[in-house]
Amino acid sequence: MQNKFWQLSLNGLTPLSFNDPSVRPPKKEKPKNPEQWEEDHWMERLYRNEDGQLIMPVHVIRKTTLDACSFVDSRPGIGKLGWRSIATDCMNWSLVGVGAKIECDEKQIVKWRDFVNPNPSNSKKGGGGVLRLRPLINLPWSLGFTLGTIHECFDKQSIEDIFTAACSYKGLGEGRSYRGYGRARVTVTQIDG
């Protein structure tokens, strides 16, 4: 086992959007006008830490990173295991805390209107969709965080490959697959532990 630490810097190439799923009307209070409720609460869909700073939640970064491992051509060199298996067990996300602070001018945050299928598990239902409003962070935006790894197969090249795939092919946040949102350029630096 070999502990290594990496500083990752992400600089946005496309806008970034969020939808904190915990922001919804209370179950007992169905809004009379759902569209007005969306209008009144769209900024609350941003993720913030206890100090009120905008953050990219660690679970969002982790999920995108693990999903992107399938795009990496190299192999970790441990039996038949792929990067996802090793990354799942050997990347230490605790250093990121609840999330990585997003650096941006909050004046760059605008309202993104989109019609979505209210029942995505069944594409035949839902009709024309329902209006959803999401906060959209326009360029420029950036974020940085420190990641730990606990296996010698991780080197600077493998970390760059994994996170470049995550930020180039998968993206972060909402609107990734059909708008190309959340793409970023990645810089990796190994740091002393």
Domains and CATH numbers, the chain: 4-27+49-107+139-191 (3.30.70)
pLDDT at 161: 96
Contact 136, 17 (CB under 8 A): yes
Query: What pLDDT shows up at residue 120?
Result: 61
Q: What confidence score (pLDDT) does residue 75 get?
A: 84
Q: Give the residue from 161, 7, 184 showing the smallest Cα distance to 72.
A: 161
Question: Quick one: three-class SS letters along 82-139?
Answer: CHHHHHHHHEECHHHCCEEEEEECHHHEEEEEEEECCCCCCCCCCCCCEEEEEEEECC
Q: Read off the pTM.
A: 0.84
**Weakly modelled stretches of the chain, pLDDT under 50:** none
Residue 113: its pLDDT value, please?
A: 86
